[in-house]
A = this chain, B = another copy of it.
Amino acid sequence: MLLPSKILENAVDEIATLPGVGKRSALRYALHLINSSDSDFAAFIGALARLKSDTHYCSRCHCISDNTLCPICSSPKRNQKIICVVENIQEVMAIENTGQYTGLYHVLGGVISPLDGIGINDLTISQLISRIPVEQTEEVILALPTTMEGDTTNIYINRQLKQFPNLKISTIARGIAIGDNLEYADEITLGRSIVNRIPFDKI
């Protein structure tokens, strides 16, 4: 795409580094910003600039937070004895939106992926392990993606957690999504959902 301005081109290139944004959308966003009012533009740039300088990570669960402890970790209403281990903050929000979970979280910041150069020390696994005795955790729920990398991470964490004999370790149920047609389900999921079948009254 031939742009009439180097400054516009530079901005379009930067916006196109956002995940899933192509050059055409980036140009649309850039032109929208150019045409916005000065105050709107200042608010936009200001909010983005503060993202990096002013956000912190919760010292306990490593979720993004404005304070040392995030609202979930500091809430007296949450069950302090259960930790749900997730890959990223997006999953925290997805699970929160279900309204089905009242425990705490632990954000790993990724999953073990040698191809992407993400090793054990890049994740907050050791911080998770050290939380268990301090918080007298009773259950850890592994809610990592059901990919090869997610499973590798699951197995590694599971092995580390074995040092706590009284700790219950569980993982989120895998099976046919609600509303899905059996004939379109992949074989591995369908096979597992038969092997790991649940009592009918628990549905």
A174 CA / B97 CA spacing, docked (Å) = 49
A13 CA / B48 CA spacing, docked (Å) = 10
Are B88 and A31 closer than 8 Å at their CB atoms? yes
Are B89 and A4 closer than 8 Å at their CB atoms? yes
Q: Is A18 an interface residue (CB 8 A)?
A: yes
Question: Could you say which of B38, B41, B49, B64 contacts A8, with CB atoms under 8 Å apart?
Answer: B64
| Majority secondary structure, A binding face | helix
Copies of this protein chain in the complex? 2
Are A93 and B51 closer than 8 Å at their CB atoms? no
Interface size class of A (residues with CB under 8 A): 35 or more
Are B5 and A18 closer than 8 Å at their CB atoms? no
Closest to A42 in B: B52
For A7, A40, A65, the residue with the greatest tally of chain B CB atoms inside 10 Å of its CB is A7
Are A19 and B47 closer than 8 Å at their CB atoms? no
Closest chain-B Cβ to A95's Cβ sits at a distance in Å of 11
A–B Cβ pairs within 8 angstroms, 26 of them: A1-B97, A2-B93, A2-B96, A4-B63, A4-B64, A4-B72, A4-B89, A4-B93, A6-B66, A7-B47, A7-B54, A8-B64, A10-B47, A11-B51, A14-B47, A18-B32, A18-B33, A19-B29, A20-B25, A21-B29, A31-B90, A34-B52, A34-B55, A34-B64, A41-B52, A44-B48
